[in-house]
Amino acid sequence: MALGERWLTVNDICAYLNVTNETVCKWIQKQATPGHRVGRCWIFRLDEVDEWVRSGGASNKAQKI
């Protein structure tokens, strides 16, 4: 399996992007992340996350309610 085909969990994404679990959960709630829901779990493809970060998806500031 190539590195680009690796699937990551929420905890893996937190460590990979150096963000908190709360941040990733907020991204998921806003449907901003390129994640896939499998049952009750979320998984992410490393190459999709990298592309999302490069395109500026992770840099969008959260809107305060």
pLDDT in tens, 7-56: 899 999 999 999 999 999 998 888 888 999 999 999 999 889 989 999 88
pTM for the predicted model, two decimal places: 0.72
- Residue 58 — pLDDT band, cuts 50, 70, 90? confident
Q: How many CA atoms lie within 13 A of 48 on its CB side?
A: 13
Q: What's the CATH code, domain 3-58?
A: 1.10.10
What tokens were used for 27? 């991204």
Q: Give CA–CA dist 65/3, Å, rounded.
A: 38
